[in-house]
Structure 1
């Protein structure tokens, strides 16, 4: 379980929204550590997260993010 705070201001804002049970869309260009923290929060809070431009990440990282999100992360592989 990730317990550290996200590194980027955008990820910190997204985490605040997820913790309030809001849905967020974030870019796959964020640091993978931030994406894992956000995915875990989405899974824990029952919120949804969409990962835009997911195809820029290796499949192994996407798998880790999916597992952390427990079914609450959608992956936009299109752009």
Structure 2
């Protein structure tokens, strides 16, 4: 009877270790996914900043060519 109780306890301990390992793997996977997401967002932000700079340059050129464009729009 004691040996079956001991085996039951050992199985429960093994199962808990298994669950802990699974949780750690999921946590690590979640961290990696968040890092990838952050990298994608940073790349998107860089592209957006580049597009804004290009648009401002285009607006400046049109303004310099005599088109009526508010200086506020260009400098904002």
Q: Which interval holds the TM-score relative to the shorter structure? A: under 0.3
Larger Rg: 2
- The answer to which structure has the higher helix fraction is 2
- The answer to which structure has the higher strand fraction is 1
RCO comparison, higher one (Cα < 8 Å, 6+): 1
